[in-house]
Amino acid sequence: MKICIIGAGSPYTPEILEQLAVMRDSLPIKEISLMDIDESRLDIMFGFCTRYATELGFDVTITKTTDRKTAIDGACFVNTQIRVGGNAARAQDERISLSMGLVGQETTGAGGFAKALRTIPAMLDIANDVAEISPDAWIINYTNPTGLVVEAVEKYSKAKIAGLCAGGLFAQDWTARATGCKPNDVRYDFAGLNHMNFSYNITIKGRPLTDTEFKAVAKEVGAVDTSLILKLGVLPSPYLYHYYHESKSIDSVKEKTRGEAVIELEKDLYKEFADPDLCTKPKSLTKRGGGGYSAVATSVMSAIYNNLDTWAVINTANRGALQFLPDNAVVEVPCIVNASGITPIVQSPPPEAVRGLICAVKNYESLTVEAAVTGSHDTALLALLAHPLVRDYETIKELFEKLLKANREYLTAFFKD
């Protein structure tokens, strides 16, 4: 069994390796192919992962390549975690957004729009290679914005893809911490999009939460005001902070954006990874954030490989799971996964107070996917117009020109004439 990791120079790669070692009995992997276009980062991560596998007692062959087709050939699963333009492009998106008085965040609003336009063409190239070289393989995607990436791949390629995010398990963890129960005892409805979702109808071993328990769980969310959560009656994704506390979101990163902070952090992080004596994950890796994907990813891979009916929150085509959205729109909902693929579970409707926001952002997402594929300036402007955090037409015209100019080398579809 072979898997490959595209974007393997990422600091998230060791977490995947570690979880694969934990799952070695159910996922009998013989080869892990590391692929990246950044040869320096690839060499560093290959060296570290080789040492780390030995430390874990994980008997697996680790290879490296800058050739994508070589990595994909023969793979059962293709893990994708790319960042087109690197963190420099991310920081640039954030600064352009903030200069226009808009939220500067890499998956939300104007920043997420720019990242989607850069990322979707690259992910479609990968998907087309997978469909041609290893047509039975599944793409296990962590590349953001994952909902838009999955919608593009499902609509414009023949590849099989599962879009993953650790956020689908947050409600389990929040409830377990607040009540002392086990995470696996917690069940809930979950509706929305990636980084735009809500958990509700929460139960512990089939018993609904009491009002006191729900208040305690609401406090665990942290990012969104607890009194607002109690009014909504649902647990929002922490990313709803950018919608419900827009002014605070903008003010909090004016001095230093998250992208700028990550650039500084990774300078030291890669020095640690390059140390030939380092055999375990550096402590500073916890500051990088965004972890937790690997447990979800290996669970999904095991479900497919071993034909085990498994519950997982996945970004996939709606197919009736959320009845207020189109069937071909990609949503983030609980699914049953096995060797036959991904089957979304129909969810009870979320409260009306949040339904409209989900619809508006889904509209933006579908328009953005179309714009990224076609290079249509008009569709791109309509996408920004549809986004609740952008909207103003005069602002949109100036913003789009700035984003186009800054990302010209990655947005060839928009300059084809």
Task: Please answer whether residues 171 and 334 qualify as being in contact, where contact means their C-beta atoms are separated by less than 8 angstroms.
Answer: no
Closest among 161, 104, 111 to 138, alpha carbons compared: 161
What is residue 283's predicted lDDT score, i.e. its pLDDT? 84
Structure tokens at 113: 């729009």
Which residue is associated with the tokens 């696996």?
184
Q: DSSP readout, 212-245?
A: HHHHHHHHHH-SS-HHHHHHHTSEEPGGGHHHHT
Structure tokens at 344: 């979304």
How many C-alpha atoms does 274 have within 13 Å on its Cβ side? 11
Closest among 136, 182, 137, 131 to 157, alpha carbons compared: 131
- All domains in the chain, ordered by first residue: 2-165 (3.40.50.720)
Q: DSSP readout, 65-122?
A: ES-HHHHHTT-SEEEE---TTHHHHHHHHHHHHHHTTS---SSSHHHHHHHHHHHHHH
Structure tokens at 67: 């050739």
Query: Does pTM surpass 0.75?
Result: yes
Rounded distance between C-alpha atoms, residue 190 and residue 332, angstroms:
8
Which residue is associated with the tokens 């800054």?
406
What ranges in 375-413 are assigned the alpha helix state H?
377-386, 393-406
Task: Please answer whether residues 189 and 236 qualify as being in contact, where contact means their C-beta atoms are separated by less than 8 angstroms.
Answer: no
Which residue is associated with the tokens 């903030």?
98
Structure tokens at 348: 């009870």
Closest among 48, 67, 59 to 4, alpha carbons compared: 67
Structure tokens at 180: 């002392």
Phi-psi region of 319 (alpha: psi -120 to 50; beta: other; left: phi over 0): left
Q: Tell me the catalytic residues.
A: 239
What is residue 181's predicted lDDT score, i.e. its pLDDT? 97
3-state SS, residue 35: strand
Which residue is associated with the tokens 């790319």?
82
Phi, psi of 389 (to 5 degrees): -95, 0
Q: How far apart are the first and last CA of the chain?
A: 45
Task: Please answer whether residues 368 and 380 qualify as being in contact, where contact means their C-beta atoms are separated by less than 8 angstroms.
Answer: yes
What is residue 291's predicted lDDT score, i.e. its pLDDT? 65
Task: Please answer whether residues 223 and 240 qualify as being in contact, where contact means their C-beta atoms are separated by less than 8 angstroms.
Answer: yes
What is residue 123's predicted lDDT score, i.e. its pLDDT? 98
Distant-in-sequence, close-in-space partners of 24: CB < 8 Å, separation ≥ 6: 58, 60
Structure tokens at 97: 């957004």
Rounded distance between C-alpha atoms, residue 16 and residue 4, angstroms:
11
Residues in the chain where the model's pLDDT stays below 50: none
